[in-house]
Amino acid sequence: MSTVRPPRSHVQVTADLVILTVRTGELHVLLIDRGNPPYLGQPALPGGFVRDGETLDQAAYREMAEETGLHEGEVVLEQLRAYSKPDRDPRGRVITVAYLALSPELPLPVAGTDAAEARWVLVEEALATELAFDHNEILRDCLEAARVRLEHTTAAAVFCREPFTVADLRHVYEAVWGQRLDPSNFRRKVTKTAGFIEPTGGRRFPDVGRPAALYTRGSATLLVPPLLRTGAEEPQH
Amino acid sequence: MSTVRPPRSHVQVTADLVILTVRTGELHVLLIDRGNPPYLGQPALPGGFVRDGETLDQAAYREMAEETGLHEGEVVLEQLRAYSKPDRDPRGRVITVAYLALSPELPLPVAGTDAAEARWVLVEEALATELAFDHNEILRDCLEAARVRLEHTTAAAVFCREPFTVADLRHVYEAVWGQRLDPSNFRRKVTKTAGFIEPTGGRRFPDVGRPAALYTRGSATLLVPPLLRTGAEEPQH
DNA sequence: CTCCTTTAGGTCAGTTCGACCATAAATGAG
DNA sequence: CTCATTTATGGTCGAACTGACCTAAAGGAG
């Protein structure tokens, strides 16, 4: 009865970036203020359109460099999933692929071409803000993915600028999970997991308290058995 | 200074399906023989183009119904990741999103519109075959994802038609992981994990050996602590 | 020197797991 | 009927890991 329409639909594809870091013990995400319509001036995740001849990974790294001044090698991006609701972008049919990055505390990013400004925002605050497109949903999903990643991999160490102390590493877990961890049990876990952290022999002398031994990231990437959140301890208010 | 070319590139997006099942104790994947160029007649994963107004999930379920006769509700599809190499499809710029499904042994799928034939193929055999596009890579990734899923979720139970025995469930793990498991320890794990399997009270009388109690799937979806592959035991040759 | 803070390390009970053994419940052969 | 075979079910034992908790070490401030 009806004419058979070509089933193919031309869409545009973007890569959006969720770049997380820990600053002053709290989890931050890198946001930009949109420099173009739609959502002009509204906060959003950095990202942009995939170009011809580019893979999604390449597009993600290019956008990261353009909009934040961070380069491949400084930060590792990992693909998470695609978001495809037909009306998620008022410009038309745009499917986005979200990328997650865990980054050490880096120099403040610089404003780029597509972005009026890039800045670190408290994750808690970003989630309470109305972000452009479906970026609130993307941020929520990436945050949960990051929490799971910390359970099963040694990824938390990339949040730390080397050399770091066991307490530095613990603060990362506490910031991402939003809960306090027992310092003693945490130490036992990370020091007895082969390849998680390697001692440098040096020490750091804080303003107060006993000096702490310094470590660098080890070669291990998987954490078996995992380091699980128990939900037992409450976040410090 | 220079004209700013629109950085946007129009691409086509497909959803490709990796539908796994266990038949006669061995892991199979659903393949089609391509009914259209390119790769005409060559085996491939089922899948197709996303249409206007459709999410990726909707496209995946629609393609599954069209090409295999399996419907939403019978099988649960889950998005895995996107594949975006610029030259992965000779027709032009096509990005695909892979979907993974674990299915109980279902009636042989019927031939559909886009596919000359859909059939179950041994995973081992499929991986040794040259599949269309980058489907070998997609299948490998999905297979590893399925193995991880069995470790951390109760997903293995959806491979079993209800009611099933503990041995049925164990055979699923053995097929997907390619290794033998200790029947006694496996039973202890699955029966003591609340909500994994629920006894029906019935029993199944095999040709030989003691009858086995029958179970249905429980309500739990996560497996904590996980059921880990140890790599200890070899697959039966 | 004494207090305070933070790191470092130890104890102890409870849980889980792998390896292994023992028993139960069915069938079929002699 | 008896026994061997097969598979299901259940128990034991020690190793490993964890959470809760405790103690000591190493620095600075007063």
Peptide bond between residue B104 and the one before it cis (omega within 30 degrees of 0): no
Q: Which residues pair with B204 in a beta bridge?
A: B212
pLDDT tens by residue, B119-128: 999 999 999 9
How far apart are the two ends of chain A, measured CA to CA in Å?
65
Closest nt to residue A227, judged CA to C1': D18
- Total-model pTM: 0.91
How is residue A45 written in tokens? Answer: 């995740």
A142 three-class SS: helix
CB contact under 8 A, B9 and A12: yes
DSSP label at residue A79: E
Separation between Cα atoms, residue B123 and residue B175, nearest integer Å: 10
Other beta carbons less than 10 A from residue B84's beta carbon: 24
- Poorest-confidence range of A202-216, B6-20, B145-159? B6-20
B138 three-class SS: helix
Residue B142 has what pLDDT? 98
Half-sphere exposure for B50 (CA within 13 Å, toward CB):
32
Residue A233 has what pLDDT? 42
Which of chain A's residues have a Cβ under 8 Å away from the Cβ of B93?
Answer: 52
Per-residue CB contacts under 7 A with strand C, chain B residues 188-227: 188-189, 192, 203, 205, 207-211, 225-227
Under a CB-based contact definition with an 8 Å cutoff, are residues B15 and B51 in contact? no
pLDDT tens by residue, B86-99: 999 999 999 999 99
Q: Which of B78, B117, B151, B162 is catalytic?
A: B117
Q: Does B1 have pLDDT greater than 90?
A: no
DSSP per residue over B31-45, as a string? EEEESSSSSTT-EE-
Separation between Cα atoms, residue A146 and residue A155, nearest integer Å: 9
Mean pLDDT in order along chain A per 10 residues (237 residues):
56 97 93 91 95 96 89 91 97 97 78 66 97 98 97 96 96 96 98 97 94 97 92 41
Residue B68 has what pLDDT? 82
More confident residue, A109 or B103: B103
A191 touches strand C (CB under 7 A): yes
DSSP per residue over B128-189, as a string? HS--STTHHHHHHHHHHHHHHHHHHBSGGGGGSPSSB-HHHHHHHHHHHHTS---HHHHHHH
Residue B117 has what pLDDT? 76
Residue A3 has what pLDDT? 46
What confidence category does residue B71 fall into, taking pLDDT thresholds of 50, 70 and 90? Answer: confident
In degrees, rounded to 5, the angle at the alpha carbon of residue B90 between the alpha carbons of residues B87 and B94 is: 65
Query: Percent of chain B beyond pLDDT 70?
Result: 89
Separation between Cα atoms, residue B148 and residue B158, nearest integer Å: 15
Residue B20: name the closest of B77, B99, B103 by CA. B103
Peptide bond between residue A163 and the one before it cis (omega within 30 degrees of 0): yes
Query: What is the identity of the amino acid at B156?
Result: A
How is residue B149 written in tokens? Answer: 């899923």
Buried b (16+ CB within 10 A) or exposed e, B110-137: ebbebbeebbbeebeebeeeebbbbbbe
How is residue A28 written in tokens? Answer: 């931050």
Which of chain A's residues have a Cβ under 8 Å away from the Cβ of B10?
Answer: 10-12
User: Is residue A105 flagged as an active site residue?
Assistant: no
